Amino acid sequence: MYYIGIDLGGTNIVAGVVDKDYNIVAKARVKTNLPRETEKIVDDMAYVAKKSVEEAGLTMADIEWVGVGSPGLVNKYTGIVEYSCNLGFNKVHLAEMMKERLGVECYIENDANAAAYGEMLAGAGKGTNSFVAITLGTGVGGGVIMDGKMLNGLNCAGGELGHIVISVDGEPCGCGRNGCWEAYASATACIRQTKRAMLENKDSKMWELVNGNIDEVSGRTAWDAMRIGDKAGSEVVDRYIYYIACGVANIINIIRPEVLCIGGGICNEKEYLMKPLREYVEKETYGNNEADYTKVVVAELGGDAGLIGAALLGNLK
């Protein structure tokens, strides 16, 4: 049998047909086109699901179920997205709406949790029972799997790892708190830190890299500057890695998973990121020794993790 996974994002809606061995057979996508009515978003979700089945040379009769990874507060037990500010969802009966449109059972989960599940099944966490996946993007997302089961918490609101505080009364976070890990370790935070360093160091080579226009700063700017020997760029990178490590060490100290993987565009930096990150984490992890050391690795599935994880959500029912 085959399964459909849908990765519902703020920019794109991506659907894929996945087989029992976690291979993506075919994919389809459309723009999310926010803001707009919930019904139209769900209509497009059903459209790309059917399109992916068509691209795979199958029919809906070959599909056992569909799974959806959605941003926001997602109650997998009721099938309701309680709230998603980016999508404009408020108590949306998403599982029921998708079942009506596709004629097969639908399971839903938070998108970061779905990505963690995908990585555990087919990627960096394959063969583990305890696993954490972190995504460093616009924000910081995370999913926790313990004893092979998703850690959801009360009303499925748990696992918001980006909102652990690493600096009391620190940088303001979009969630309304101050000092959240997301405010320091997201790609957005890296850009903000880079701009701040540029304003403080007018002779930095980072200015040359953006043609003198600070609005052209990206998450790569400081890293590119570091590679050409720029002192200010190197300081931004080192401090940013330390911020990532602080949160990673906290999570390891609380959960002690077998493997913790990190995903997001920043992982393209490979050992420029991972070598110093592991060194920081090793120093800050409580009671660290070879017997209980958590492996810190790069995510393997990239953007497909959420799709694969969503497709296999029916296994968690």
| Per-residue pLDDT, 279 | 94
What residues form DSSP beta bridges with 249? none
The CATH homologous superfamily to which domain 2-120+304-316 belongs is: ATPase, nucleotide binding domain (3.30.420.40)
Q: CA dihedral in degrees (279, 281, 285, 291; nearest 10)?
A: -60
| Per-residue pLDDT, 76 | 93
53: left (phi over 0), alpha (psi -120 to 50) or beta: alpha
The CATH homologous superfamily to which domain 125-299 belongs is: ATPase, nucleotide binding domain (3.30.420.40)
Both tokens assigned to 181: 């890990």
In the structure, what pLDDT confidence band is assigned to residue 313 with cuts at 50, 70 and 90? very high
């998603």: which residue's tokens?
Answer: 84
- What's the pLDDT tens digit per position in 69-105? 998 889 999 999 998 877 989 999 999 999 999 999 9
Sequence ranges of the domains in the chain:
2-120+304-316, 125-299
pTM for the predicted model, two decimal places: 0.86
Mean pLDDT for the stretch of residues 260-274: 91
Percent of the chain's residues with pLDDT above 90: 79
| Per-residue pLDDT, 289 | 64
What b-and-e string marks burial along 243-256, b requiring 16 or more CB atoms within 10 Å of the CB?
Answer: bbbbbbbbbbeebb
Does the structure show a pLDDT above 80 at 317? no
Query: Comparing 40-54, 155-169, 181-195, 300-314, which segment has the lowest mean pLDDT?
Result: 155-169
